[in-house]
Amino acid sequence: MHAVVRTYSGPKAKQLFDLLQERKSDVEKTLRAVPGLVSYTMVRNGDGGVTVTVCNDKKGTDESLRVAKEWISANAGSIDASAPIVTEGTVVVQIQ
Phi, psi of 68 (to 5 degrees): -65, -45
CA distances from 64 to 10, 25, 38, 79 (A): 22, 16, 11, 21
In a domain, 13, yes or no: yes
Which amino acid is located at 90 in the chain?
Answer: T
Q: Indicate if the pLDDT at residue 77 is higher than 90.
A: no
| 50, β-bridge pairs | 7, 43
The mean pLDDT value of the chain amounts to: 93
CA distances from 54 to 6, 8, 22, 26, 79 (A): 12, 18, 23, 19, 26
Q: What percent of the chain has pLDDT over 90?
A: 82
The tally of domains found in the chain comes to: 1
Domain, as residue range, for 44: 2-90
Q: What are the tens digits of pLDDT across the range 43-71?
A: 999 889 999 999 999 999 999 999 998 99
pLDDT of residue 4: 96
What CATH number is attached to the domain comprising 23?
A: 3.30.70.100
In a domain, 11, yes or no: yes
In a domain, 96, yes or no: no
